A and B are shown apart, each in its own frame.
Chain A
């Protein structure tokens, strides 16, 4: 993928480490494996996968969290960021050109006036849902913040697999999402009963071929001036 600014990569790493340690007694928790396969049988990497408790499942206590959505080479990095609701997201611009980031998605509308560096305060995402990010100067800049109503989430690896550890017993809604998935969002959801221990697995097989998501191109400065 892209070269993320080391500082923000570090935050992400620490954050994942925090989840790996977990705050829930391992005796009452199990592992959940989510598997995503494309219509042609190939694994789908880098898709968002979440396990949202249904009903009275004790969630991990919500922490005040923060992370960052970078801007590098006229692109959002990462292109898709998953956060738990209540998370604050910083939007540092590490490009040599200014950006004007906005969202008009119902889950979180916001506008950051033209800036470079770290001019603006972090934006808090409280409502679960998908937030589409744009730049008012560079129309080809598109990014996503997936706000999950759960601390149990991640992205699939190159084998199309996400393993969630330390998931407490209970009933969960397992959902996957990616900008390249063309299937109906409703079909990308399955319910799962997680037992006290052991492993449970959920598989999704897409029906429609993947949509192509254009990768950002390195346009020189000053192109497309009008």
Chain B
């Protein structure tokens, strides 16, 4: 039985409110919550989340009334420089823990004393690569599902480590924008790559949780096996509030020969490039591309190595008309295996189309309708008794309640 969203939210907020709040120095605790319940229609094959080879979150055995997400995001101010941030909640499925965290980190943001502002994050947080998932809890304000790229980043990639950012503040020179350099060092992301290699690309909004698993058989992503830290480095540029560019390189530097009792390490490297353009207050255009590779098996022994390249891009157009928002997104994705053939090649080829309509009743209530279609061709589907090339459609009607509390 799926857990009751209201009960979960209540339990989470009670837990967070227990943090002692000092009343004297303004609000210390900032809570943002989301309760998302959906009516779902899905005609695809069994979702990968339930052991199948489908690329959508729901399937004919998991449709009807579903919990989209129950989320609580907290920011607790420790002093003028440090905050503690956490995002937790439930997806209402059979994850290991009914309620789990997706992110939890400490952040230092000292006042700038010159044109450069430094920021440090320590803990577990999402990779700062998306221009689509710009809302709290790594949700997207444009639709229910995310693009294939950002779905994957939310599934397999989480930074558990530390991030440093130096941002040049254009206001210091009369320029309305910033240029930032970001770099991170992290561990516990050695299995990253296993999902894209074995399943291919997907499109949805199911992030992995920090202590849980994803899919069937359950896959965990946050494990350290080789004691080798990974890194990422990125550049971003914002011009006015109209244009933003992000480039990022990720390498988990995993030893592809490392294993533990449950998992194996995948060496995964990729480059992401994205831009968001908002020519006026109505229109948004986002493009992002990501390409990289992942491999497993000892180096220097290509016969025992499985290796694959992956690539995806998407274009998203969105328009805001008062309380209404319309979004159209087109994804293209592929993976190509180039070593370690023991069966049909794990080559994924496909594209996806999503159309979303969002309506804000007020600052709390929102209704979202989303239609998605994913076409994918993936030869290993024969193991599931499913044709290698399939079309899947999913329609979701969501009612969302959002709230913001300060203490």
Contact = CB atoms under 8 A, between A and B. Distances in A.
A212 B112 CA distance: 25
B15 interface: no
Nearest to B28: A114
Given A142-B176, A214-B240, A221-B404, 17 more contacts: A100-B80, A104-B112, A113-B80, A116-B27, A119-B25, A132-B171, A132-B172, A134-B169, A137-B109, A140-B238, A213-B176, A217-B281, A220-B141, A222-B402, A223-B134, A224-B134, A225-B73
Contact of A139 (B30, B141, B167): B167
Contacts of A137: 109
B136 A139 contact: no
A111 B26 contact: no
B128 interface: yes
B169 A214 contact: no
Interface in A170-190: 179
A209 B114 CA distance: 29
Contacts of A100: 80, 111
A114 B128 contact: no
Nearest to A96: B404
A54 to B, nearest CB: 27
B281 A223 contact: no
B171 A116 contact: no
A18 interface: no
Given A98-B30, A104-B113, A140-B241, A222 B404 contact: yes
Contacts of B169: 134, 139
Rank and list the top 10 A-B pairs by shortest CB-CB distance, nearest first.
A214-B240, A222-B136, A113-B80, A225-B136, A115-B26, A142-B171, A111-B111, A102-B111, A119-B26, A217-B241
Contacts of B26: 98, 113-117, 119
Interface residues of A, number: 37
Nearest to B404: A221
B126 interface: yes
B interface residue count range (under 10 / 10 to 19 / 20 to 34 / 35 or more): 35 or more
A218 interface: yes
Contacts of A140: 176, 238, 241
B406 interface: yes
Nearest to A213: B176
Interface string A74-88: 000000000000000
B289 interface: no
A87 B178 CA distance: 31
B117 A214 contact: no
Given A104-B172, A134-B169, A136-B112, A222 B128 contact: no
Contacts of A179: 174
A167 B65 CA distance: 74
B333 interface: no
B261 interface: no
A217 B238 CA distance: 14
A191 to B, nearest CB: 26
Contacts of B27: 98, 114, 116
Contacts of A116: 26-27, 406
Contacts of A223: 134-135, 141
A21 B137 CA distance: 56
B32 interface: yes
A115 B114 CA distance: 22
A123 to B, nearest CB: 14
B77 A114 contact: yes
Nearest to A105: B172
Contact of B242 (A132, A214, A222): A214
